[in-house]
Structure 1
């Protein structure tokens, strides 16, 4: 059900976002405690501000009320993906080349399932190459469980 809701929301909002110059980064529909949350993460060149989030939220609220694809009560949140934005689409990975990332895998690669370092290469069909300290590690695309930008302290 969550995937169907995410797909329906994406179909509702994608044309508006594209027209307004925004990028849809991710959609989450999750239960936390007894509450459901529909979270829409949006970005644009130069970043988004509270007015952008408000405008997108108003547009989406109207569409959701009109089409009513979600059978339960929920909270709608529209926000920036933040500094540690997820890497999901090919262009997310391409844009992250040369930057610090955090990647988890479904199974160990060289004895590890977590890799934090600089993204050196990305090939959609093959995967990524990450430099962790002075060691380069190839991670096949089908082994990547999650990936996001990382801030090193």
Structure 2
């Protein structure tokens, strides 16, 4: 079991989104997927967007289909949404939401933008490169420093309300490299299983 698998999300939903997350997260767990985010959106009527991934960060179209087929009946039984909706299952993408402590260590060195629930250094919105992480929080080096602000700031995980990676060439390169490595490791494991 990887460190990510048993790590709870530090940023979670509210309202109906939270109810859906509570219903589907155990199902995803039994299938070895991690829930990233649930959002009920007013697009194409009503769309229930589920973001998930494997513990190694990969996600295929087949994975999305498997999740959709597994959670649809569960959502039909519990029926947390009282209107008709479209179900959309996807990967978190390269410029992904950051929802677990491990996301911050995994993507250390990359740009992130985020909001806090409380004022930190007289602001709630931040943007910068993740330079350090620990169990309590993470430190960023700001890419835009206003007069009188320190060039780096440490954010406790308990203060986060939303966080997302910023798409850069470096992020694309590292994400593609990580995906290629994960696929090679999966192929090696499958080859070992067949012997």
Quickly name the TM-score band, shorter chain normalised: 0.7 to 0.9
**Aligned-pair Cα RMSD in Å:** 2.8
Task: Look up the match of 1:88.
Answer: 99
SS of equivalent to 1:119 = strand
For residues 49-95 of structure 1, the C-alpha deviation after alignment (integer angstroms, 9 at most, x for no partner) is 11110111111111122222211111111000101111123232233
Check conservation: 1:109, 1:139, Cα contact below 8 A: no
Query: TM-score, with normalisation over the residues of structure 1?
Result: 0.78
Q: Which of 127, 150, 153 matches 2:166?
A: 150
Where does structure 2 lack aligned partners over 5 or more consecutive residues?
1-12, 146-150, 170-195
Q: Which of 37, 48, 54 matches 1:38?
A: 48
Where does structure 1 lack aligned partners over 5 or more consecutive residues?
none
Q: Does 1:76 align with 2:87?
A: yes
Larger relative helix fraction: 2
Larger relative strand fraction: 1
Task: Look up the match of 1:13.
Answer: 24
Query: TM-score, with normalisation over the residues of structure 2?
Result: 0.63
